[in-house]
Amino acid sequence: MIPSFVSLVRADNPGPMTLEGTNTWIIGAPSGALVIDPGPLMQEHLDAIALATDGKVAGIFLTHGHLDHSEGAQRFSEMVKAPVFARLPEFTSKDAAPLDDGFQINDGEVTFRVIATPGHTADSISFFAEKGSDTGDTGLFTGDTILGRGSSIVAYPDGSVGAYLASLRALSAMLGSRSPVPLLPGHGPVNESSLPVVDQYLSHRLERVEQVRAAMARGITDIEAITDDVYAGLSENLKWAALLSVHAQVAYINESA
């Protein structure tokens, strides 16, 4: 189910937001591995990635700047002497350029492409990788834009519901013309086909927006009261995440009113 040229090293940082831990993805390419999200600054984890790549790394790529994905990047960069690439300059190595939508690497049979997918955060990007052409040996690396299970949060005010919906629609359109592309998320299990998950995320988010809109129409205006209404029965340790998402949705509804 994982593409033939990809491997996974999972960090030991489980939690309500990180699920089983941060997934560090390694793409095997002739000039050296491409490492996606070295994860938290945990030496054991960084050692495990270095071991899995034989220390031969061409580049380190971040799906976004949240610490559970990015914190170990600098140390890992020093360990394997490879540059860090991210959407934002502050996470990118000095001698490297920040990543733009459409940026592509072709290394032998392996192609690797950046897809801007803002929404969870403004700097969120996804990566599409393929070995050969038309072999169906592909993978979509989604960071926190789409998780292996459950739903992602829109981290207001940096994250934006309008941007998130547009990103999900763009992914859906891109995937619609392909044979199933495995979903390789930043947290949680692999899914054998990305498209149904992307479409599920899209309908879930639209449904939440409608629930928030309905609560507002009933005269509930306070963010916390809307959250209690829409996310009834949510456990306390996830409530802050729901508050952020509700805040983002209220902003979206107000913008598009």
- Give the residues lining the site for Zn ion (CB under 5 A): 66, 144
Least distance in angstroms from the C-beta of 152 to Zn ion: 8
Helix (H) or strand (E) holding 174: helix 161-176
Select 66 or 131, whichever has its Cβ closest to Zn ion: 66
Instruction: Report which residue's Cβ sits closest to Zn ion.
Output: 66
**CA distances for 49 relative to 24, 55, 204, 254, angstroms:** 8, 8, 34, 44
Least distance in angstroms from the C-beta of 155 to Zn ion: 7
Residue among 128, 133, 139, 129 at smallest CA distance from 1:
139
Eight-class DSSP state of 153: -
Select 41 or 79, whichever has its Cβ closest to Zn ion: 41
Least distance in angstroms from the C-beta of 209 to Zn ion: 20
Select 66 or 205, whichever has its Cβ closest to Zn ion: 66
Select 29 or 244, whichever has its Cβ closest to Zn ion: 244
**Tokens 């629930």 -> residue:** 211
- The 10 Å Cβ neighbour count of residue 108 is 10
Least distance in angstroms from the C-beta of 64 to Zn ion: 6
User: Cα separation of 221 and 202, whole Å?
Assistant: 25
Helix, coil or strand: residue 72: coil
Least distance in angstroms from the C-beta of 88 to Zn ion: 13
Select 71 or 144, whichever has its Cβ closest to Zn ion: 144
Least distance in angstroms from the C-beta of 34 to Zn ion: 20
238: left (phi over 0), alpha (psi -120 to 50) or beta: alpha
Select 55 or 188, whichever has its Cβ closest to Zn ion: 188
User: Cα separation of 152 and 135, whole Å?
Assistant: 30
